[in-house]
Structure 1
Amino acid sequence: MELAIITLLFIALIFIGIPIAFSIGITALVGIVTMTSAPTTMIPMKMFYGLNSYVLLAVPLFVLTANIMNSGQISHRLINFSIALVGRKPGGLGHANVLVSMLFAGVSGSSTADTAGVGKILIPNMINKGYSREMSVGVTAASSTIGGIIPPSITMVIYGGLTNTSVGQLFIGGMIPGVLIGLGMMFVISRIAIRDNLPAMPKISKSEFIKLSKDAIPAMITPLIIIGGIVFGVFTPTEAAAFSAIYAFLVSVFYYKSIKLTDLFGIFSETLKLSCLSLFALAAASALGEFLGFYRINALATDFFGQLGGSEYLFLFIIVLFFLFIGTFMDAIPAMVLFVPVVYPVALSLGVDPIQLGIVIIITLSIGLVTPPYGLCLLISSNIGELPVDRSFNAVLPYILVILFVLIGIIFVPSLLLV
């Protein structure tokens, strides 16, 4: 009875517009207080221990890297390079939009940072070049979901911390799926470009291409440093995040000269705001997870999947459907903190690889960034393109199908993850 009441409370809080982190925290507080055997001190203790993880230090550090890169106008340089590389194809700006999202994903690890940084430049540019608002917004919103899939990825760090799974292996596992999603989106754009006779960008000279490449290379080295350092054991994911922030700072200040020391206060302030939002949600979800553990939710989930026959493929398909639903109204981080501890033991009992499970969950939750009512990337792109959300959602549907197609491939061909 108590569990049903707490569930209704949680739904009601979200429905009336309480921010998700506070909704989780209030629900955890009320739930634990109703447990007569649990002291109220359990709430701050569980919130503290939920953040007491060395690997979680990577979260604010990757956020700091993204903010430095955005403030240093790295996105402009990556956009110019992407246009030079693929802009000559029909629908060139659409292809460049996807390519820059793939490159920016390797720099920031954040889909929303990608949407904001790239969308402000490319959406107006695409509209001015004759692209429809629907396509301009749809491509930008959909391609930005790659930000959480191609490493480094903040959501992978969270999943690794929750399950004690190697973050380095998760980073490697996200590479091929992320590239396949990007290539699939480019294929969709090429079909639309032929149908709608979309323009190509003018050809640039060889010397101009070399200049743009030299301008973009320092930014593109960032993911190579992070992934290479982790794979070869030079540093841990947290140390890699710290190194990437230092590298981004040095490149922006001394190479591009696009950031002044006086800009650091604003960068640090924005980093604290964004990091606190994610980490508070993580702490609150840890307290709520303790309440759910009191009702043996893990055991109930294990029994449920056991009654279905114990098929790992059926389990993964149910996971995709479940997190598709959750992702429509909840951010990826609290969704993982609440439900990964529930499904993870079941996955192990069925023989599902932890890396495969993590990549499936992360990609599925990335779709939630472009599905209303949450759909943060969709909302940001819609706002930039001045397009109603319903029309924006219709524009991203073909790209969502691409992501789902890659998801099915990962479920049936886990060797795509290279781990």
Structure 2
Amino acid sequence: MSASLAQDVTPPPATALGALARRVDTAIGATVEAVAGSLVLVEIVVLLAGVIARYVFHKPLVWSDELASLLFLWLSMLGAVVALRRGEHMRMTGVVNRVGPQARAMLETLALAVPLAFLALVMWPAFEYASEELPVVSPAMEVSNAWRASAIPTGLALMAIVALLRLFEQHALRRIAIALAATAAVTLLFWLAGPLLAPLGKFNLVLFFVIVVAACVFGGVPIAFSFGLATFGYLALTTRTPMLVMVGRLDEGMSHLILLAVPLFIFLGALIEMTGMARAMIQFLASLLGHVRGGLSYVLIGAMYLVSGISGSKIADMAAIAPVLFPEMKQRGAKPGDLVALLSATGAQTETIPPSIVLITIGSVTGVSIAALFTGGLLPAVVVGAFLCAVVWWRYRGEDLSRVRRYGKGEIGRFLLVALPAIALPFVIRAAVVEGVATATEVSTIGIAYSVLVGVFIHRQFDLRRLKPMLVETASLTGAIIFIVGCATAMAWGLTQSGFSQDLAMLMKAMPGGAIGFMAVSIVAFVVLGSVLEGIPAIVLFGPLLFPIAKAVGIHEVHYAMVVIFAMGIGLFAPPFGVGYYGACAISKIHPDEGLPHIGGYMAALFAGLVVVAAIPWISTGFLK
């Protein structure tokens, strides 16, 4: 969903230094990608072995969770290195894409120089933190915790090296010098102003967490580094907090074992596309509804619902569906702009469908039961989807179906038979969690094993050559997501220590209208946060602050979670700032401007559905035990 950091308007002329940087960068990249991809595979094997040992042989592997946790931090940090090298860290490019060529080139250079400054500042505290962990021994494997904690300084150092190499490889020396000098000058200015900042009190929160973060985010600096730099500056210049404490909070945010579900479900999403399971589901739905006016649009909505329940990754969802459906829809006369607008809207609609990464993140940072979130997320997506279907019905009520083939019952039955293994997968996943076969983290490994068996023995479609790119892509996306979670956790801790959370709680409790007023303000706030920060960092940052308030004013936590997720989804997929919209355009290969005239109706439908879900708590909580 993020634009590439490597994208430069005026590539520098080939130089010996640039060529050397490219060779070193390629060597480092190949090594880190191989290790990170291998770690994804090892995590799958370790967790699946734990499930089999516990449930089949009734002999739990007491060390499996410890080993998985140790490897996960290494996977996250090395994945963050891969993401930085590939330009896949989440960032906002709305402003960058709208300025002139020279200004854009300068902002792209700064988008690497600013993270480099943060990495340089936090490097030594990270090494200190790893050394502090040396005497701590894990209970099961009895190894020093430094083995795990050393992933942080190692990953930070590799990111710094990669950022420096990418600067020389992709940008002109003059721009590099200006960007590095400007970054160093601003950093020095803040350091010199340190004695003047302490007396400002809570205005420092506005300075660092609003002005600095906004300047970095709107300037195209990746969100994770924007959070990290602002937090480091606030703690270093206005408090006496040792910086290794910040690294500890970073570690804490990245080390929730439940977050291990993120790479596993991302890989599962890629796997169902590779094995043909996604195509089988779509083919069945198309045969069932293809002869109805707007039928393939209904198929798109339904397919996104089903695939979202399997992959947990919105990019994987859209990539599995758009290439299959869009060619046929265009042949029937659908406008490309309407297609990408609907695809973007379904991205927001299906955010609550388990095993959504956003649901897993909410559960990990707020303590809300993930099983309850998984149960509560199914019906709200149906309600919002019904509103989207109403828009589709209105827009396609005059569609010409004279050339559309209508499938017979026998053909539909055959398509259903082929699609059954894929349709059954979400139910297999849910049953494994409910019956206690596996935890929410482990259940993805059952889905992966199931998908491999279906691909090999039923669909006979399993390309071993695609495994390595899938594993590396999984590691890259995982690193981008988990590094944001870590930096946002450190930022949230800084806000909490400042007393901001208590002030926010008092302000929100004092809102007129009680629970209704609080819900209304939350909707507006998370639509804005979803468009600027994306879902995961917004949840990590504000979830621990706002969920206790929601509970205090009488709102069920699962109900509040569904409303918040839909609000963020609207912000995430609504132009002009929602990066999810641009992700949908990239996957569809349709220019963003083509979707703008069509997306208004779908966004109105999403908002109407959100209001209904917010007004009727039973939709989110009616099926909870």
User: Could you say which residue in structure 2 is the equivalent of 1:376?
Assistant: 579
1:128 aligns with 2:331: yes
Whether the 8 Å CA contact 1:20–1:330 is kept in 2: the answer is yes
For residues 95-137 of structure 1, the C-alpha deviation after alignment (integer angstroms, 9 at most, x for no partner) is 1111111111121122222222212232233122211122222
Whether the 8 Å CA contact 1:323–1:361 is kept in 2: the answer is yes
Aligned partner of 1:39: which letter? Answer: P
User: Could you say which residue in structure 1 is the equivalent of 2:263?
Assistant: 60
1:359 aligns with 2:580: no
Whether the 8 Å CA contact 2:293–2:398 is kept in 1: the answer is no
1:396 to 573, 592, 599: 599
Moved more, 353-362 or 244-253: 244-253
Structure 2 residues not aligned, in runs of 5+: 1-202
1:73 aligns with 2:73: no
Output aligned runs, 1:178-193, within 5 Å: 178-193=381-396
1:255 to 451, 458, 461: 458
1:241 to 429, 444, 469: 444
Q: Which has more radius of gyration?
A: 2
Output aligned runs, 1:103-118, within 5 Å: 103-118=306-321
User: Could you say which residue in structure 2 is the equivalent of 1:2?
Assistant: 204
Instruction: After TM superposition, give the deviation of residue 288 of structure 1 in Å.
Output: 0.7
1:16 aligns with 2:197: no
Whether the 8 Å CA contact 1:131–1:198 is kept in 2: the answer is no
Secondary structure of the residue that 2:377 maps to in structure 1? helix
Whether the 8 Å CA contact 2:358–2:535 is kept in 1: the answer is yes
User: Could you say which residue in structure 2 is the equivalent of 1:43?
Assistant: 246
**CA–CA separation in structure 1 for the residues paired with 2:539 and 2:559:** 15
For residues 169-218 of structure 1, the C-alpha deviation after alignment (integer angstroms, 9 at most, x for no partner) is 10111111111222221221111111455778411122321221111111
1:177 aligns with 2:380: yes
User: Could you say which residue in structure 2 is the equivalent of 1:98?
Assistant: 301
**CA–CA separation in structure 2 for the residues paired with 1:339 and 1:306:** 15
Instruction: After TM superposition, give the deviation of residue 415 of structure 1 in Å.
Output: 0.9
Secondary structure of the residue that 1:258 maps to in structure 2? coil
TM-score, normalisation: structure 1: 0.94
Whether the 8 Å CA contact 2:349–2:385 is kept in 1: the answer is yes
Whether the 8 Å CA contact 1:106–1:223 is kept in 2: the answer is yes
The change in CA–CA distance for 1:313 and 1:182 in structure 2 (over 3 A counts) is: same
Instruction: After TM superposition, give the deviation of residue 386 of structure 1 in Å.
Output: 5.1
Whether the 8 Å CA contact 1:313–1:411 is kept in 2: the answer is no
Secondary structure of the residue that 2:324 maps to in structure 1? helix
Moved more, 147-156 or 229-238: 229-238
The change in CA–CA distance for 1:120 and 1:374 in structure 2 (over 3 A counts) is: farther
Tell me the matched-pair count.
419
For residues 247-294 of structure 1, the C-alpha deviation after alignment (integer angstroms, 9 at most, x for no partner) is 222222332222233432222111101111110100110111111112
TM-score, normalisation: structure 2: 0.64
After superposing on structure 2, the runs of 4+ consecutive aligned residues of structure 1 that deviate more than 3 Å are: 195-201, 383-388
Whether the 8 Å CA contact 1:330–1:374 is kept in 2: the answer is no
Whether the 8 Å CA contact 1:329–1:373 is kept in 2: the answer is no
Task: Give the number of the structure with larger relative contact order, counting CA–CA contacts within 8 Å between residues 6 or more apart.
Answer: 1
Whether the 8 Å CA contact 1:101–1:143 is kept in 2: the answer is yes
1:86 to 273, 277, 289: 289
Whether the 8 Å CA contact 2:528–2:568 is kept in 1: the answer is no
Whether the 8 Å CA contact 2:347–2:573 is kept in 1: the answer is no
Output aligned runs, 1:204-215, within 5 Å: 204-215=407-418
Aligned partner of 1:163: which letter? Answer: T
User: Could you say which residue in structure 1 is the equivalent of 2:488?
Assistant: 285
**CA–CA separation in structure 1 for the residues paired with 2:443 and 2:349:** 20
Aligned partner of 1:2: which letter? Answer: N
Between the aligned residues of both structures, percent identity stands at 27
Structure 1 residues not aligned, in runs of 5+: none
Aligned partner of 2:258: which letter? Answer: V
Whether the 8 Å CA contact 1:281–1:334 is kept in 2: the answer is yes
**CA–CA separation in structure 2 for the residues paired with 1:181 and 1:253:** 36
2:234 to 17, 28, 31: 31
Moved more, 91-100 or 225-234: 225-234
The change in CA–CA distance for 1:32 and 1:252 in structure 2 (over 3 A counts) is: farther
The change in CA–CA distance for 1:318 and 1:172 in structure 2 (over 3 A counts) is: same
The change in CA–CA distance for 1:89 and 1:32 in structure 2 (over 3 A counts) is: same
The Cα RMSD (Å) is: 1.9
Secondary structure of the residue that 1:90 maps to in structure 2? coil
Whether the 8 Å CA contact 2:563–2:613 is kept in 1: the answer is yes
Whether the 8 Å CA contact 2:291–2:404 is kept in 1: the answer is yes
Whether the 8 Å CA contact 1:92–1:201 is kept in 2: the answer is no
For residues 316-346 of structure 1, the C-alpha deviation after alignment (integer angstroms, 9 at most, x for no partner) is 1110100101111222101101111221221
Aligned partner of 2:206: which letter? Answer: A
**CA–CA separation in structure 1 for the residues paired with 2:595 and 2:610:** 23
Whether the 8 Å CA contact 2:337–2:595 is kept in 1: the answer is yes
Aligned partner of 1:214: which letter? Answer: L
Whether the 8 Å CA contact 2:274–2:463 is kept in 1: the answer is no
